[in-house]
Amino acid sequence: MEIVVLPTAEDIARAAADRIENLVKSRPDAVLGLATGSSPLPLYKELGRRHAEEGLSFAQARAFLLDEYVGLAPDHPEAYRNVIRREFVSLVDINEDSVKSPSGTADDITAACAEYEKAMQAAGGVDIQILGIGTDGHIAFNEPASALTSRTRITTLTEQTREDNARFFDSIDDVPMHVVTQGLGTIMESKEIVLIATGANKAEAVAQLVEGPVSAFWPATVLQNHQHITVFADEAAGADLKLLSYYDHMYRNRPEA
Ligand code: F6R
C-alpha cells in the first residue's frame, strides 16, 4: 500500500486527478470505477476543471458505479446514478451511455447483479477504482462481516451507515435499508485503486485499513492484499496512523520522486 497524507482535500483531489489523467491519456477508453458520497467530490470537481480548462477528455472512457440504493425511484436525487450524473458526468465529456450502475429497482435483483458482473468482465475489468471508506470500515456498501470474497449482491446497511448518510436525506427514516453493492472480491479485481479519506470521523477506519489485521470486521482491510493501491488521507483522517512519519518519509523519497 502507498499511504499519502496531505494537508487538504484539495491537495488529495489534485494528486488523485493526476492518476486518472495519466490513465485516460495513455488509454482513452479506460474503465473507471466511480464511488459516490462526499469523499470523491473534490476529485470530480478537479477532473471537471481539467476537462474545461485543459481539454482533458473522457469521450472514450467507460465507467462502472460501485453501488446503488434499493427502492429509490429512478428520478430520486440521491439515487447514485443521479448523483454521479450531477457530480461527474455533467462536468466532463464522458458518454452517459458508457456509465453503468447496479440496478436497485430490477424485478430480479440477483439476476441483475450477475449481469452487472458480466458487463464489468466484458469491458475488461476496472482500470482504476476510486473508493471512499465508511466510518465503520465499509468500502462500497460491504459492511462489517461481508465475505472478503463477496461479489455484487443485495445487502443491508448498518444503522451507523444509515445515520452517516442521513445528511443526504430529510431524515434517517428516508435512508433505504437495502443496497446493491459490488463485493469485496469484485473490487479486489480492479487493476489500480485510489482510496480517499478525509475528516476526523474517518481516522479509526483509516488506521484499521492500513495497520489493522485483515478482518471482515473492518472490510476495507482486505485492500492490504491488493497489488496497486494508494490511500490518500488528509491530516485529520490520518491522525491515528502509528507509522505516519514513516509513510511520509517513504512518499517523499519514493524512487520516482
Ligand atoms: C459510495 C460508497 C461508500 C462511501 C462511504 C464514504 O458509493 O461506496 O462506501 O464511499 O460511505 O462516504 P462519504 O465519502 O460520504 O464519507
For the segment 140-193, what is each residue's pLDDT rounded down to a tens digit?
Answer: 999 999 999 999 999 999 999 999 999 999 999 999 999 999 999 999 999 999
- Reported as a single tens digit per residue, the pLDDT across 95-128 is 999 999 999 999 999 999 999 999 999 999 999 9
Which of 198, 199, 188, 257 is closest to 229 using CA atoms? Answer: 188
Mean pLDDT of 244-248: 94
Q: How remote is the CA of residue 141 from the centroid of ligand 1, in Å?
A: 8
Q: Whole-angstrom Cα distance, residue 201 to residue 236?
A: 8
User: Which residue has the CA at smallest separation from atom 11 of ligand 1?
Assistant: 134
Q: Work out the number of other CB atoms within 10 angstroms of the CB of residue 151.
A: 16
Alpha-carbon distance values, 206 to 5, 31, 150 (Å) = 11, 26, 21
pLDDT band at 37 (very low <50, low <70, confident <90, very high): very high
Catalytic residue among 68, 136, 164, 234: 136
The Cα–Cα gap between 235 and 244 comes to 10
46, 67, 127, 234: the active-site residue: 67
Handedness of CA 10, 12, 18, 21 (dihedral sign): negative
pTM over 0.85: yes
In whole angstroms, what is the distance from residue 48 CA to residue 131 CA? 18
The predicted model gives 233-250 an average pLDDT of 96
Residue 149 to residues 30, 165, 215, 219, Cα–Cα distance (Å): 25, 26, 12, 11
What confidence category does residue 256 fall into, taking pLDDT thresholds of 50, 70 and 90?
A: confident
Q: Hey, what's the cell of 226?
A: 491488493
Overall size of the chain counted in residues: 257
* Side chain identity, residue 229: I
Average pLDDT over residues 42-59: 98
- When pLDDT is averaged across residues 71-100 and rounded to a whole number, the result is 97
Give just the sign of the alpha carbon dihedral 139, 111, 165, 61: positive
Please name the residue whose Cα sits nearest to atom 2 of ligand 1.
140
> Does residue 214 surpass a pLDDT of 80?
yes
Identify residue 90 by its one-letter amino acid code.
Answer: S
Which helix or strand (DSSP H or E) is residue 89 part of? none
Assess whether pLDDT exceeds 80 at residue 257.
no
